[in-house]
Homo-oligomer: A and B are copies of this chain.
Amino acid sequence: MESKKKEIKKNIVKAVNKVREINPMAGSITNTVTINFVANAQLAVGGSAAMVYLPDEGEDLARLGDAMYINVGTMFPVYEETLEHVARILFEIGKPWVLDPVAIGIGDLRTKVLKEFKNYKPNIIRGNASEIIALAGLWELDGGRRNSKVRGVDSTNLVGEAKNAAIELAKYTGGAVAVSGAIDLVTDGKLLVYSKGGSHFMEKITGAGCSLGGVMGIYLTVTDPFTAAIVGTQIYNLAGRLAEMRSQGTGSFHVHFLDELYKASGQDIANNYFEIKEV
């Protein structure tokens, strides 16, 4: 495992530096609550952002960018057409994408769309424990539970309870799954990476999860899903920990957090505490 860890660290540094060098674009279809935070986080780590709602615009971004981020946080009527269309295009042309199944269980259209996404195998799935369990349930995979309790956008489950669902989702998609919590979990179905850090403030600002998904989308333009999910998780844990030290409340935390995303070096991100286990 030590050599594996070394390899992961090397890949982290490489991905972080590559993004800062080439300023890659990952388009997004995301919710209106945290859309600004998603874009600013993507820019802070060195990427480029663009957001749309319409089907053909989503397709254009899918083709223009090197990866995409889809977050179903606030559904619009036009999403009935947009979301499946764009996911299908991404799958067909082999562009990697990140799915954030926010608020899964709320509303019929969200459920329908999330079910359809099973066909288009998102390369990274990111959510809190309840969302990951619910998605595995919706896709009828082991470890899932259709009635996983998601209270609006909050998790009522712990990361450990979502381990099996995460593994099964990763095995099914062939990509990676990231579960946010006190200690974050990233898995590719074979390895489990546990990453520490972050801040209690991250649950007290809106969009820590959404913007993490968007940032994973940026790293996904330059590396494989497992590495991209780990880099995103690690930079968030590092930036959260550092930002908390300088913050007096949630307003200043948000500001310092973006500053830390902007400043974080590849080496510091790689050195943020994590450990690896086999499934």
Q: Which residues of A are at the interface with B, using a C-beta cutoff of 8 A?
A: 25, 27, 31-37, 39-40, 43-44, 48-54, 56-57, 60-61, 64-65, 73-78, 103, 106-110, 151-154, 203-207, 247-252, 254-263
Contacts and interface: CB of A to CB of B under 8 A. Distances in A.
Contact of A252 (B65, B74, B259): B259
A255 B236 CA distance: 20
Contacts of A103: 50, 52
Given A51-B32, A109-B54, A152-B48, A76 B78 contact: yes
A206 B78 contact: no
Given A36-B206, A52-B106, A204-B262, A250 B77 contact: no
A106 B29 CA distance: 14
B48 A75 contact: no
Nearest to A46: B204
Contact of A154 (B25, B78, B154): B25
Contacts of A25: 151-152, 154
Given A53-B76, A60-B106, A249-B258, 5 more contacts: A25-B151, A27-B152, A43-B205, A50-B103, A248-B263
Contacts of A154: 25, 48
A218 to B, nearest CB: 13
29 contacts: A25-B151, A31-B51, A32-B35, A32-B51, A33-B35, A33-B49, A34-B36, A36-B206, A43-B206, A44-B251, A48-B151, A48-B153, A49-B206, A50-B103, A50-B153, A52-B74, A52-B103, A53-B76, A54-B77, A56-B107, A60-B106, A61-B106, A64-B106, A65-B152, A249-B259, A249-B263, A250-B259, A252-B255, A252-B258
